[in-house]
Chains A and B, each alone.
Chain A
Amino acid sequence: MTNLKLTGVEKTYAGNINVLNDINLDIKTGELIVFVGPSGCGKSTLLRMIAGLETITGGELTIDGERMNDMPPAQRGIAMVFQSYALYPHMTVRDNMSFALKLAKKNPAEIDAAIEKVAKTLQLTDYLDRLPKALSGGQRQRVAIGRSIVRDPKVYLFDEPLSNLDAALRVATRIEIAQLKESMPDSTMIYVTHDQVEAMTLATRIVVLANKGVAQVGSPLELYERPENEFVAQFIGSPAMNLLSGTVVDTGDFTTVRVENGGGVIRSSVPSSAELKGTSVNIGIRPEDMQPTTDDNFAFENRVEIAEALGEVTQVYFKPQSPGSTPVIAKLQGIHRDVRTQTMRMSADPSKVHLFADGRSLLYR
C-alpha cells in the first residue's frame, strides 16, 4: 500500500532559485527510505518539505492518499528527529516526550503509559526526570527518537540523526535504529544521511539525489551492482568506481571495448546493439573488482605511484592517464609489498564491468 507519495514536487526559493525539480516517489508502508546525495543536493530540503517546514512550491505530496501540501506539520501525521536532537533544554526527558501529546490534548494516563513503554524499550526509564543537559550524547539521541515514537506517527523523518555522535557510538546507534525498525515493521521511515554506510545498512530503498532531481531509486545492492548512471556509480562505494574511456569494438550479448590510454581490451557482460560499434563509452570498474593479470589480454596497464597497505587490502594508485586526471585505483586483497613504481596489468571479470554512454548505463537503455 502506498503510504507517502511525491508527484512532480519542486522547490523554488524567492528569486527563482530552483533547488529541486520534478521529484516523483512512491513510498510504501513499512519501508525505510534513505535519501543520500552530495551536500547541497537538496536532500534535507526534501525531507523538510515532507515535514511541512518548507513550503512545497510545485507538485503534490500525499500521505495516505490525503493531500498535505498546505497542512501544518503537526497535522501531517509525521514525527521528526533532528540532527541536533532539538530537545527542549528547559524540559525534563518526560516533558520532552509528552509535549506533543499534551498539545494534542491526549488523556494524561494514556500519555504516561505511552512514555513508560517507550522509555523501557529505549532504556530511558531511569532518566525520565533529568534535563537534557544531564544526558550523554547517545542518551539524547535516544530521547529524540523516543519523543517521535510516543507520537505513533504514520511516517518517521530522520535528518542526519547520527552525525553528531562519535564514530563508535554512531555504529552502535545505527544498529539500534535497525533493530527499532525491525520491531516496528509497519512504520514508514525516511532517513537523510550523507554517510553511505548508513544508507547501505539501513535502507530498504535508497534515493540518490543529485542535480535537483532523483538520480536513482533502488535497494542498496541494486544501486551497487546496477547503477543507472555514472553519478550513482561513483557515489555509491568507496573508493569511487574507476571510469576509463574507451571505444566499442564488438557488440552482442557481450560488449568488447578498447580502453584508451590503457592499451588493452576488455569484455563486459552488458549486451549492446550493433549501432553502438565504434562509439565511445566510459568503462566503469570498481577498485575492488580490478584484478592483476599477467595475461596479454589485459584492460589497462600503468605504473603504480602509491600503494597504501591497509592490512586486509592494499590500495594501489596508478599514475594518472593524463596530467590532472583522477588516478585509477585498485583494491588488491591481502598484502602486496614492492608494488610501488612497478608497472602492473589489470583486468576484470566481464560481469563486473559497467558501461556508460553519455553518462547513462547501457544496462538501462
Chain B
Amino acid sequence: MSGIAGTKSSLTWAVHLSLAAMVLLWLFPTAGLLVSSFRTADQIATSGWWKSLSASEQNLTLRTDAPDQQVNQNGQFVIQGNLFDESSQSQISRWGTNSRSISDYAAGDTAELRKGGTVTVQTNGDYVMQSDEPFTGKRGTRIFVTAKSPPEFTLRNYNYVLFDPSNREGIAKAFFNTLTVTIPATIIPILVAAFAAYALAWMDFPGRALLIAVVVGLLVVPLQLALIPLLRLHNDIGIGKGYVGAWLAHTGFGLPLAIYLLRNYMVGLPKDIIENAKVDGATDFQIFTKIILPLSFPALASFAIFQFLWTWNDLLVALVFLIDSTGDTTVMTKQIVELLGTRGGNWEILATSAFISIAVPLAVFFAMQKYLVRGLLAGSVK
C-alpha cells in the first residue's frame, strides 16, 4: 500500500514506534535472563541487569587486605594492594572512609584513618595504608568508593553449572537426559503418523471419515486425563517409570497432531502424481516411500519441530512417567523447578540453568522458523 497517494507519514512513524515498543517489551524479559546468566552473584543481587549494559556509577563498599598482610618498611607498617578484582576495569572518582561521608576525597587524595595512620586510594583502586603503629584487627578497613565500572561479564556461571564436578545440582546430566527423551520421542511418532496419514489421505476404505473425525477430536483431549490410567498401565506391564514409558507417552500424545498435520498436507499433494505412480506400477508402499515421503518433507519437518519443542519443554510427562525416586533420569525442566524451590535467590545458577535449557529450542526455532510457521498454519483447525 506504499504507493497510495496522500498517506500520512505521522501514521507510518506511529506504526514503526509501536512495533518497536512491542518487540522490546517481548524481548526484554528473555534478555534479562541472558544478561543475568553472565553476571556474578553479587552483581545480580545488587543492581538490575539493565544497568550492567552501560558503564555505571556505583557506590561500593570495599575492603582493604586484612592487617595480617602488613609489612614493615623502614619502621612504617604498610598494607598495599588493589581494592578491586584483578580483572576489574572500574574507575574510582570519589571515596571516603566513613559510611556517612563516602565521597570526602578525590582519587589520589590521602585520608587520615580513625584508628590511626593514613590511606591513599588511586583511581584504579590501588591503595597504600601506612601507619607508625601496626594495624590490628581481623578484617581489612572498609573503603567507600564511588566507582564507574564498565560492563563486566563472566562465563563462570556456565562453567559452574555445566562442568563443575563438585556441583551436585549441575545441569549437564539433565541436559543429556532431556536429549535422550526427546530424540526417540520425536522420530517414532513421525513414522507411525506418516503411514496413518497417508492411509487417511489417499486410500479408500470404509470408516475413513469417521477416523479422521476421531483424530480431530483427540487433538484437544487434555493429557491430564491420561496420567493415572497410563501410569497404572505402565506399572502393570512392567515398564514402570523410565525412558520407555516417556517415549511411549510422548508418541501417543503427539500422534493426533502429527496425523492431522501430515494428512492435511498429503491431501494437498497433486492427485495426478499419485495416480501416475499407480499407472507406473508403484504399490501403495512404494508410492508412500518414493513419492509421498519425499514430497511431504516440509510437513514432516514442521511436525518434527513441534514435537521436539514440546518434548524438550515438557514437564508434566517427565514428572509422571519418567522421573523415579532416585532422580537419575531427571530432565532440565524438572531440575529448574527444583532450583526455583531450593535456590530461588541464587539467580546466577537459576538464570544460567534456565538459559541453557531454552538455548536449544531457541536455536531450533531460529534455524527452522519457516517450517514451524508452515506447520502452525496447516495445523490450526479451520
> Which of B273, B278, B280 lies at the interface centre, i.e. has the most chain A CB atoms within 10 A of its CB?
B280
The 8 A CB mask of B249-281 against A (1 = contact, 0 = none) is 000000000000000000000101101111111
Q: Which residues of B contact A89 (CB under 8 A)?
A: 273, 295
B282 touches A103 (CB 8 A): yes
A103 touches B281 (CB 8 A): yes
A86 touches B278 (CB 8 A): no
B281 touches A86 (CB 8 A): no
**Does B291 count as interface, using CB distance less than 8 angstroms?**
yes
A82 touches B272 (CB 8 A): yes
Of B278, B290, B291, the contact of A74 (CB 8 Å cutoff)? B278
- For the A-B complex, the count of residue pairs with Cβ-Cβ distances under 8 Å equals 58
Instruction: Please provide the chain B residues from 270 to 306 with a CB less than 8 Å away from any CB of chain A in the complex.
Output: 270, 272-273, 275-282, 286, 290-291, 294-295
A90-B295 contact given A53-B275, A84-B272, CB 8 Å threshold: yes
A79 touches B272 (CB 8 A): no
A100-B280 contact given A83-B272, A86-B270, CB 8 Å threshold: yes
B291 touches A88 (CB 8 A): yes
> Which of A72, A80, A85, A86 lies at the interface centre, i.e. has the most chain B CB atoms within 10 A of its CB?
A86
CB distance from A341 to the nearest CB of B (A): 47
Q: Which residues of B contact A84 (CB under 8 A)?
A: 270, 272
- Tier of interface size on chain A: 20 to 34
Q: Which residues of A contact B279 (CB under 8 A)?
A: 51-53, 73-74, 78-80, 100
Of A52, A75, A86, A104, the contact of B276 (CB 8 Å cutoff)? A86
Q: Which residues of B contact A100 (CB under 8 A)?
A: 279-281
> Which of B272, B278, B291, B295 lies at the interface centre, i.e. has the most chain A CB atoms within 10 A of its CB?
B272
> Which of A48, A75, A87 lies at the interface centre, i.e. has the most chain B CB atoms within 10 A of its CB?
A87
A88 touches B273 (CB 8 A): yes
A99 touches B280 (CB 8 A): yes
Q: Which residues of A contact B277 (CB under 8 A)?
A: 88, 99
CB distance from A49 to the nearest CB of B (A): 13
A103 touches B286 (CB 8 A): yes
Instruction: Please provide the chain B residues from 291 to 344 with a CB less than 8 Å away from any CB of chain A in the complex.
Output: 291, 294-295
Q: Which residues of A contact B278 (CB under 8 A)?
A: 52-53, 72-74
Q: In the assembly, what is the distance between CA of A73 and CA of B277, in Å?
A: 10
B272 touches A90 (CB 8 A): no
CB distance from B286 to the nearest CB of A (A): 7
Q: What is the interface of chain B mostly: helix, strand, loop, or mixed?
A: helix
The 8 A CB mask of A55-84 against B (1 = contact, 0 = none) is 000000000000000001111001110111
Q: Which residues of A contact B286 (CB under 8 A)?
A: 103
Of B270, B281, B294, B295, the contact of A104 (CB 8 Å cutoff)? B281
A80 touches B276 (CB 8 A): yes
Q: In the assembly, what is the distance between CA of A52 and CA of B281, in Å?
A: 11
CB distance from A287 to the nearest CB of B (A): 38
Q: In the assembly, what is the distance between CA of A100 and CA of B291, in Å?
A: 13
CB distance from B381 to the nearest CB of A (A): 27
> Which of B277, B286, B295 lies at the interface centre, i.e. has the most chain A CB atoms within 10 A of its CB?
B277
B282 touches A86 (CB 8 A): no
Q: In the assembly, what is the distance between CA of A85 and CA of B272, in Å?
A: 8
CB distance from A45 to the nearest CB of B (A): 13
Q: Give the residue name and chain of the B residue nearest to A157 (CB).
A: B279
CB distance from A151 to the nearest CB of B (A): 8
B270 touches A74 (CB 8 A): no
Q: In the assembly, what is the distance between CA of A51 and CA of B286, in Å?
A: 19
A86-B291 contact given A103-B281, A104-B281, CB 8 Å threshold: no
Q: Which residues of B contact A75 (CB under 8 A)?
A: 281
Q: Which residues of B contact A74 (CB under 8 A)?
A: 278-282
Instruction: Please provide the chain A residues from 71 to 124 with a CB less than 8 Å away from any CB of chain B in the complex.
Output: 72-75, 78-80, 82-90, 99-100, 103-104
Q: Which residues of A contact B282 (CB under 8 A)?
A: 74, 99, 103
> Which of B277, B279, B282 lies at the interface centre, i.e. has the most chain A CB atoms within 10 A of its CB?
B279
Q: In the assembly, what is the distance between CA of A85 and CA of B271, in Å?
A: 11
Q: Which residues of A contact B290 (CB under 8 A)?
A: 99
Q: Which residues of B contact A73 (CB under 8 A)?
A: 275, 278-279, 281
B295 touches A86 (CB 8 A): no
Q: Which residues of B contact A87 (CB under 8 A)?
A: 273
Q: Which residues of A contact B273 (CB under 8 A)?
A: 86-89
Q: In the assembly, what is the distance between CA of A53 and CA of B279, in Å?
A: 8
Q: In the assembly, what is the distance between CA of A324 and CA of B278, in Å?
A: 49
Q: In the assembly, what is the distance between CA of A151 and CA of B290, in Å?
A: 19
B281 touches A82 (CB 8 A): no
CB distance from B292 to the nearest CB of A (A): 11
B294 touches A82 (CB 8 A): no
Q: Which residues of A contact B295 (CB under 8 A)?
A: 89-90
Q: In the assembly, what is the distance between CA of A296 and CA of B49, in Å?
A: 107
> Which of A72, A74, A75, A87 lies at the interface centre, i.e. has the most chain B CB atoms within 10 A of its CB?
A74
CB distance from B245 to the nearest CB of A (A): 38
Q: In the assembly, what is the distance between CA of A89 and CA of B270, in Å?
A: 10
Q: In the assembly, what is the distance between CA of A84 and CA of B273, in Å?
A: 9
Q: Which residues of B contact A72 (CB under 8 A)?
A: 278
B280 touches A82 (CB 8 A): no
27 residue pairs bridging A and B, Cβ less than 8 Å apart? A51-B275, A52-B279, A53-B279, A73-B275, A73-B279, A74-B279, A74-B280, A74-B282, A79-B279, A80-B275, A80-B276, A82-B275, A82-B276, A83-B272, A84-B270, A84-B272, A86-B270, A87-B273, A88-B277, A88-B291, A89-B273, A90-B294, A99-B277, A99-B282, A99-B290, A100-B280, A100-B281
Question: 8 nearest interchain CB pairs?
Answer: A74-B281, A100-B280, A86-B272, A86-B276, A82-B272, A73-B279, A90-B294, A103-B281
Given contacts A53-B275, A82-B272, 16 further A-B contacts (CB under 8 A): A48-B275, A73-B275, A74-B278, A74-B279, A82-B276, A84-B270, A86-B273, A88-B273, A88-B276, A88-B277, A89-B295, A90-B294, A99-B277, A100-B279, A103-B281, A104-B281
